[in-house]
Chain A
Amino acid sequence: MKTNDKGGAPRSMLRRKLMIGSAALALGLAAAGVGHAQTPPTGEVNTTGLAVTDDVVKVGILHSITGTMAISETGSVQAEKLAIKQINDMGGVLGRKIEFIQEDGASDWPTFAEKAKKLLVEDKVAAVFGCWTSASRKAVLPVFEQYNGMLYYPTFYEGLEQSPNVIYTGQEATQQIIAGLDWVAKEKGAKTFYLLGSDYIWPRTSNKIARKHIEDHLGLKVVGEEYYPLGHTQFNSVINKIKLKKPDVIYAIVVGGSNVAFYKQLKAAGIDMTKEKPLVMTISVTEDEIRGIGGENIEGAYATMKYFQSLDNDNNKKFVAAFKNMWGEDMVIGDVTQAAYEGPWLWKAAVEKAGSFDIDKIKEASPGIELTTAPEGYVRIHENHHLWSKTRVGHAKSDGQYEVVYETKELMEPDPFPEGYQ
C-alpha cells in the first residue's frame, strides 16, 4: 500500500537516484529513436527561478494527513500521487519528471498557510495540489497571491471567490445544486423542501442558492431551514420537525462525522429513504463518507455530484483500476478524489500549452484547456478558472456505491458569483 512515498531524507535520495535512472533510460530511448519529444532547455521554460532543472520539476502536495480532516483528504493525496506517477510514466512534463514535496496541513488553517509559504518560498515549487476545506483555502490564498504560486484546489465549494492563482477543479455551488433541484422537481414532482446543514459557510451559502432557486426559479416552497454545529450528533429534534412538516425533499448538507449520526437517526426514526417519502437529497455525501455511514443506512438517498465511482465510461474504468492497483482493492473513490486527480493533468496541459513552467504564463494559458481523459468525461477550464463540468444525480445503493440516474446533457457553466442568487 503506502510504501514508496514516505518522505524522509534517505528515501528521497533513493527516489532521486531512481528518477535520474529513469530519466537516463528515457533519454536512452529518445536517443535510440523511439520518438521522444525534444526537451526544451531550462533557461527557456523557467525564467522565474522555480525548482525546475533539466530533468526534474518539483511540485507540492499540501493536504491534512493528520488531524480530523485526514480521513477526507487522504483520497485526494492518493489521487494526486497517482496522477503524478502516471504523468511520469508517460515521460513527465516538457521532458521533466515530476518530483513532489509533501507537506502536512495538520487540519489546522495557520499550518496550511505556513506550509504553503514554505513550498513557495523555500522549495520554489512549480505548482501546489492541495487544500480541502474552505478555511484552509482562505488561509493559503493570500500566500499564493503574494508569492505568485499556482494552487489546484479539488473540493466542491461555496463559490464567491475567483483568484488568478487558483484552478478550482471541483464544482462551485451552482454547478452542484441547480441541476439537481431541477431534476427532483421535474422527475419526482417535489413541491416542498426542508433545508438543513452543518453550520459554516459552505452549507449556508449552498442552501442560500438552493432556496433562491426553489422559491424564485421553480416557484416551489421551502418549509424549514436549520443548521447544526460541526460534529453535532443529535438530530432527533429536527427529524421530529421534519415528520410534522412532511416536506417532499430533505435537502441535507451535513458534513463530516455528523453524517453518520444523521442518517442512522433518520433511519431509526422510521424514515425509509428507499420509499422517497420524503426523498433525501444531499450534496455532501460522497462514496468516501458512505464508508463511515454504512451503505444500508443511506440506501435510497440521492446525491448530486459531478462524479461517481460507478460512472460508465472508459476513462473512468481505467482510472478506477489504476487507483485500486496503486492503493488497494478496497478503496472507494468520491467526487473530490476524482477532482484532485484532474489537478496534475490540468497543470501538465497548461504547462505544455504555455511551453513554460512560469506561473504567469500558466495563468494565461489555463482558460480553454480541455481534458478529454478525465474520469468524469470531458472538462474544460473556464475564463474564471473553474471547470465546465456536468452535474449528475446518483442513487445510493446498499453496497455504498451510487447508481447514476441522471446527468445534464450539456456541461454546466461555472458561475462563482451567481447573479440573482446572492
Chain B
Amino acid sequence: MTPPFHAARKTELFGFLVLAAFVLLVLPGVVDPFRLNLVGKYLTYAFVAVGLVLCWGSAGILSLGQGIFFGLGGYCMAMFLKLEASTPEATKIQSTPGIPDFMDWNQLTALPAFWEPFHSLAFTIVAIVAVPAALAFVIGFAMFTRRVGGVYFAIITQAIAAILTILIIGQQGYTGGVNGITDLRTLLGWDIRTDSAKTILYFVNAFLLLGVIALSIAVRSSKLGRILVALRDKEDRVRFSGYDVAAFKIFVFCFAAAISGIGGAMFTLQVGFMSPSFVGIVPSIEMVIFCAVGGRNSLIGAVYGTLLVNWGKTTFSESFPELWLFAMGGLFIAVVMAFPNGLAGIYKSYVQPLFARIVVRPAHRRRPVGGGKTTPAIAE
C-alpha cells in the first residue's frame, strides 16, 4: 500500500530538508517583518497539526479537542508573562497592586495559589509540556483502557473542549474570562513586542517545529510507529498479538498533546495574548482541517496545509471582508472532494511521478504511488 519503507523514509527526509529551507531561508528572505510574524503565528498551529498527523493519521485516533492542549500550553506561558507584567509599580493604579489587572477588576485581593508557581520560568516551561500531557493522560487512560474509540472518542474530546472553554470564561477572576490574558510585554525583561524580538521568536519557533517534526519522524519510523499503524488498520489483531493497545494509544495522544502545548506557548509569545477563543470546539476543528488539507498522513504536508489555510484566511479576509468565509468554505470543499489526501496526496500522485520521470531514466516507469485506490479509510 505504501512504497517500500526506506523509499518512504527517503522522501520524508527530502521533504524535511525542503521544509527546513523554506521555513528558515525562503520565508524570512522574501516576507516583510509584519508578514513574517503572521507566518510565525501560523506555524504555531502547525505543532497541533503535526500532533494530529501522529494521532489521527498514524494511529487513527481522531481528536476534535486539540485546542484544549494548545490552549493549556498557551495559558501557562501567558500566566508567566502576565505575572511579569504585573509588577506593583506597573499596577499601582489598582485597588490591589501587584496582581494581574483582570483579577483586580474581579475584586480578587490576592494572587490565587495556583498562579504562584508561574513566577518561575523553569516551572512554566515544564508546565507547558506537562500540563497538556497530564490532561491527555487522564483522558486517554479513561477512554482507551475502556476501549472507547472512533467517533465516541472524538465526541468526548469535543465535549471536553467545550467544558474547558466554559470553565475559563466562567472563572474570569482567575483566568481573564472572555477577554483572555492580554497585554503581555516582556520575557525576563526582554521586550517581546519589538520587531527584532518577533524575528528572533520566529526562528526559535521554526527550530522548535523542525525539532518536533524530526522527533515525530523518528517515532513514526520506529517499531512503535509501525505498531501505531497496525492498530489503526486492525486493532484487534494487534491486541491478540499480545500488545497493550491502550498504552500505545495513550502514549501517542499524550505526545500530540505535549507538542500542541509547545505550539500554544509559542503562540502566546508571538501574538502577545491568549484567550479562550483558542480552546473551544471551533478552533479545535479548524486545526483538524489544517491537518486534513495538508494530508493527514504526512508530517511535512501538515505544515504546508496549516500555512496554506491560514494564508488563505488572511488574504481572502483582507481582500473581500464580507465574502471571505465563502472562499474558505470553497477551498475546504475543493480539497476534500478533489484531493482526499490533501497537499501531500497531490504531491505523491502528481508531482512525484513527474519528478521521477524527469530525473530518473524515462524507461523506469512505475505506477504512481499513494494515489487512487490506496486511500486509507477515513477514521470514522
Binding site for B on A (CB under 8 A): 6-9, 65-66, 102-104, 106, 108-111, 113-115, 117-118, 121-122, 133-135, 138-139, 141-142, 146, 158, 160, 199-201, 204-205, 208, 229-230, 417, 422
Is B275 a contact of A104 with CB atoms below 8 Å? Answer: no
Chain B, residues 313-343, CB within 8 Å of chain A (1/0): the string is: 0100111111111000000000000000000
A229 to B172, CA, bound (A): 11
Chain B residues, CB < 8 A from A115: 317-318
B102 close to chain A: CB less than 8 A: yes
| Chain B interfacial residues counted at CB < 8 A | 39
Binding site for A on B (CB under 8 A): 34, 37-38, 41, 93, 95, 102, 105-107, 166, 169-170, 172, 177-180, 182-185, 193, 271-273, 275, 277-278, 314, 317-325
Cross-chain contact of A113 among B105, B107, B271, B324 (Cβ < 8 A)? B271
- 13 further A-B contacts with Cβ under 8 Å, apart from A110-B271, A113-B272, are A103-B317, A103-B318, A108-B277, A109-B273, A110-B277, A114-B41, A117-B34, A118-B34, A135-B179, A138-B273, A199-B170, A200-B178, A204-B106
Chain B residues, CB < 8 A from A108: 277
Is A7 a contact of B321 with CB atoms below 8 Å? Answer: yes
A138 to B277, CA, bound (A): 14
A142 to B172, CA, bound (A): 20
Q: Shortest 7 CB-CB distances between A and B: which pairs?
A: A104-B321, A135-B179, A138-B182, A121-B34, A138-B179, A135-B178, A102-B321
Cross-chain contact of B320 among A7, A111, A205, A417 (Cβ < 8 A)? A7
A106 and B317 contact, Cβ closer than 8 Å, known pairs A199-B172, A201-B102, A208-B107: yes
A16 CB → nearest B CB, Å: 16
B140 CB → nearest A CB, Å: 29
A114 to B278, CA, bound (A): 15
A139 to B182, CA, bound (A): 6
Is B319 a contact of A104 with CB atoms below 8 Å? Answer: no
Chain B residues, CB < 8 A from A109: 179-180, 273, 275, 277
Chain A residues, CB < 8 A from B107: 208
A142 to B95, CA, bound (A): 22
Chain B residues, CB < 8 A from A111: 317
A8 CB → nearest B CB, Å: 6
Chain A residues, CB < 8 A from B323: 6
Is A201 a contact of B318 with CB atoms below 8 Å? Answer: no
Q: Which residue of B lies closest to A106 (CB)?
A: B317
Is B322 a contact of A104 with CB atoms below 8 Å? Answer: yes
B278 CB → nearest A CB, Å: 7
Chain A residues, CB < 8 A from B170: 199, 229
